[in-house]
A and B are shown apart, each in its own frame.
Chain A
Amino acid sequence: MLAGLFAGAGPGVAQDAMGRTSLVGLRAPDIARADLRGAPVSLAALRGKVVLLNFWATWCAPCRVEMPRFVAWQKQYGVDGLQIVSVSIDDSEPPARALVERMHLDYPVVMGDAKLGERYGGVLGVPVTFLIDRRGVIRARIDGETDLGALQGKIEAMLAAH
């Protein structure tokens, strides 16, 4: 399984510069689970939207730096079809809930686990952000703290492309 996670992936599966299994160019694995507010979340139901899928944890300082921008982008670009979905990889819900309330995250937040991380090519550090186009295809994977200006540019380009 680890070979599939990061090296020696099968035919048709790309590898990035680090030799990791890259899902870029492939349909995003579905996520169908309730968010922390109990509302159902389904990536499949978001076809037609540009999805920013963000893996994070409450103990991750770079993750918390990004969140206010994600909140702002959801407000700014939601009308154009952006949907942010975030996945907490905290070991339990209470700290994630507390942070969601404290930071006023008004987009869906679901709890992740090892299996979901594996389905996304391995989430072995946070933050990890995926950009998924309107057809449900992963167009970018960004590992670690990122240039938020550049990320915003990518989002705008994807929103403009129909």
Chain B
Amino acid sequence: MRRSSTIGSGMKRVRGCTGTILFGLCAAALAVSSVHAQLNQPVSASVIPRDRLLEPDALNHELQSNPHGSLILQVGSKVLFDQAHIHGAEYAGPGSRPRGIAALRSRVANLPRGQAIVLYCGCCPWDRCPNIGSAWQLLQQMGFTNVKVLHIANNFGSDWVSRGYRAESTH
């Protein structure tokens, strides 16, 4: 009797674990698909909380004192990235397209969830940006806890390069 009750409780634990795993997989799939579904409608930059925004002068100052502190990801246009991007930044976009979201997800998938990450775009004025909101949402849904977003009010040229902040091109 004791043996059968042990087996029975063991089976319950297996079912419980399987259920937990399945639940986790479903939740992850739902998170990713919800970002994809939203890509038909651009996600506004207004979804990003104000306390997660970083102004250009603040990031520039941070990079001068600690150039390798954060992983910096540009999630906008590759053509713009190739012309000029923040020194040390990587391209992981565009956030407005499924393939861009997939590229971002792939880049960060194996990172510790506490990794310091800075996202930016700069394709067009902040309140019209089609890329940054969905990129932010993805990282939130993936469980990243230390993400900031560079607030580019106008565009990358005006708000970063023209101010003489450190930038580089791809070639």
Q: Which residues of A contact B (CB under 8 A)?
A: 1-2, 5-7, 18-20, 57, 59-63, 89-91, 112-114, 117-118, 122-127, 143-145
- Asked whether, in the complex, the Cβ of A7 is within 8 Å of the Cβ of B128, the reply is no
Q: Which residues of A contact B164 (CB under 8 A)?
A: 7, 19
Q: For B97, list chain A residues within 8 Å (CB).
A: 59
Partner of A144, one of B124, B161, B169, B171: B124
Give chain A residues whose Cβ lies under 8 Å from the Cβ of B161.
Answer: 2, 5-6, 20, 122, 124
Interface residues of B (CB under 8 A from A): 42, 77-80, 82-84, 94, 96-97, 122-125, 128, 130-131, 154-158, 161-162, 164, 167-171
Main secondary structure of the interface of A (DSSP, over half): loop
Asked if B130 and A124 sit within 8 Å, CB to CB, the answer is no
Complex CA distance for A62 and B125, rounded to whole angstroms: 9
- For the residues of B in contact with A, the DSSP-based class is loop
Q: Which residues of B contact A118 (CB under 8 A)?
A: 83, 169
Nearest opposing residue in chain B for A112, CB measure? B79
CB contacts (< 8 Å) of A126 on chain B: these are 77, 123-124, 155
Pair A6/B128 contact, Cβ less than 8 Å: no
Distance of A87 Cα from B123 Cα, bound (Å): 15
Enumerate chain B residues within 8 angstroms of A91, measured Cβ to Cβ.
Answer: 77-79, 94
Q: Given that A2-B84, A122-B84, A126-B123 are known contacts, is A62 also in contact with B158, CB under 8 Å in the complex? A: no
Given A57-B123, A125-B155, A126-B123, check contact A18 B162 (CB 8 Å): yes
